[in-house]
């Protein structure tokens, strides 16, 4: 029986890797423009980091984490998201020491035990940014703008930016009470998850996907009516900055995000043609997270983009054009002596920066020429015993179907000149 990949994972094959590389390069270029530097954190952390950082009432912590004990009895978890890990690294390595703004970005695998479906995997890849050390609403707007610019410059249209404020612990206390009073008469008919969240985290009731619960939540109190002066002013300022940058947005008073650490600004960017899985980016401010995992009171804001879902959106919009990199020269060797000779020329070609291949099985000339076509070779260099004896190579321009004889010592220079031209 053939061993297959685990459910919810995906092989990224050579014909699609080029799409990933292009998107990753686009991300790095954009982050450099916005002043964000790359950080790489471990794929697993102590479980406590996510329990404290994400919140033990979230679906991620309660249901979706891959958690195990190591041989020393320590509980470890494959990272289900990367904000908590970046903040941990920020603290542990004292990146806050200069007291300024620290702007970081990451790309990598995340892991959640979730029901696999289009654009959702158990191992998935995220790009995200984290900006730590500044609470100004202009920074919120810049972070949102970076996420929106990324998707827009990849070529996506039909984007919707949804924006909300989830307040702060001060104003959320009254809102929490108002939500409980509203949902209490309906609680008996609501799902098990909502019954569990009712006492621990009633804001999550607004995020339930159960049809009955979602219908009930439509008339629930809006947090905008409970924001204190500071949160209200902050939210209004974020909107002004986004308007100044000509970024369209929709105020979405039901947007609460799924993680406990969010404060004030919360946002999602949706690619509408994806339907139920339309959210391709999301994030918000998390001013209490650094303290929650043992650090000083340092504000922060960030977002993450699901790369699989972004690629799905690009595919849906027919933006994944294949630009296969063809090789410069394929060496056709006829006979053992020629194969040894061709191997030496192959090495010399690569050292000059050419993309070069050869046949290793000593097949017929017809089979080797077919292989050269498969590689999309611009030139084939043909060697046999007669060519070796005369110190020449038959060089064929595959596009023009023209062939000429070239001195072996001049071969690599000629190919390089033709490629450069």
Give the other-Cβ count within 10 Å of 199's Cβ.
10
> What are the tens digits of pLDDT across the range 351-400?
999 999 999 998 999 999 999 999 999 999 999 999 999 999 999 999 89
* pLDDT value, residue 333: 94
Question: What per-residue string of b and e applies to 15-45 under the rule 16 or more CB within 10 Å gives b?
Answer: eeeebeeebeeebeebbeebebeebebebbb
* pLDDT value, residue 197: 81
Whether residue 134 contacts residue 96, with contact meaning beta carbons closer than 8 Å, is answered with: no
* pLDDT value, residue 351: 96
Q: Which residues contact 403 (CB under 8 A, 6 or more apart)?
A: 394, 395, 396, 397
List of the chain residues with pLDDT < 50: none
Q: Quickly list H helices, 156-265.
A: 169-183, 192-200, 211-217, 229-244
* pLDDT value, residue 258: 56
Give the other-Cβ count within 10 Å of 69's Cβ.
10
Reduce the DSSP state of residue 55 to 3 states and report it: coil
Which residues on neighbouring strands pair with residue 67, listed in sequence order? 77
Q: How far apart are CA 403 and CA 421, in angstroms?
A: 18
Domains, the chain, ordered by start: 14-168+228-316 (3.30.930.10), 329-414 (3.40.50.800)
Output the pTM of the full model: 0.86
Give the other-Cβ count within 10 Å of 2's Cβ.
3
């Amino acid at each position: 029986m053939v061993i297959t990949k685990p459910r919810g994972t995906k092989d990224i094959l050579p014909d699609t890797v080029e799409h990933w590389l292009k998107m990753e390069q686009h991300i790095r270029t954009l982050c450099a423009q916005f002043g964000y530097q790359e950080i790489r954190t471990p794929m697993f952390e102590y479980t406590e980091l996510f329990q404290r950082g994400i919140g033990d009432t979230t679906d991620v912590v309660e249901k979706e984490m891959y958690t195990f004990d190591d041989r020393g009895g320590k509980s470890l978890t494959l990272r289900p998201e990367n904000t908590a890990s970046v903040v941990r690294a920020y603290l542990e390595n004292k990146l806050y020491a200069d007291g300024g703004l620290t702007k970081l970005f990451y790309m990598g695998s995340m892991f959640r035990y979730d029901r696999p479906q289009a654009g959702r995997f158990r191992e998935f890849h995220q790009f995200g940014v984290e900006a730590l050390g500044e609470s100004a609403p202009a920074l919120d707007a810049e972070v949102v703008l970076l996420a929106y610019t990324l998707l827009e410059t990849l070529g996506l249209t039909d984007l919707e930016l949804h924006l909300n404020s989830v307040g702060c612990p001060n104003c959320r206390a009254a809102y929490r009470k108002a939500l409980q009073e509203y949902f209490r008469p309906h609680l008996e008919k609501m799902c098990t998850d909502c019954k569990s969240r009712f006492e621990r985290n009633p804001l999550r009731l607004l995020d339930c996907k159960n049809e009955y619960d979602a219908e009930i939540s439509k008339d629930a109190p809006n947090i905008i009516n409970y924001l204190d002066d500071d949160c209200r002013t902050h939210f209004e300022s974020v909107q002004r900055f986004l308007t100044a940058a000509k970024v369209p947005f929709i105020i979405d008073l039901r947007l609460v995000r799924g993680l406990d650490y969010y404060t004030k600004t919360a946002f999602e960017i949706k690619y509408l043609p994806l339907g139920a899985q339309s959210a391709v980016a999301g994030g918000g401010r998390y001013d209490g997270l650094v303290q929650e995992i043992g650090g000083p009171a340092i504000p922060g804001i960030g977002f993450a983009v699901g790369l699989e879902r972004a690629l799905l959106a690009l595919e849906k919009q027919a933006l994944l054009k294949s630009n296969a990199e063809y090789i410069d020269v394929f060496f056709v060797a006829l006979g053992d002596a020629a194969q040894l000779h061709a191997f030496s020329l192959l090495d010399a070609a690569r050292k000059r920066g050419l993309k070069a291949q050869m046949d290793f099985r000593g097949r017929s000339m017809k089979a080797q020429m077919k292989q050269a076509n498969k590689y999309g070779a611009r030139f084939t260099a043909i060697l046999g015993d007669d060519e070796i004896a005369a110190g020449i190579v038959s060089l064929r321009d595959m596009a023009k179907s023209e062939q000429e004889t070239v001195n072996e010592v001049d071969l690599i220079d000629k190919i390089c000149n033709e490629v450069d031209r």
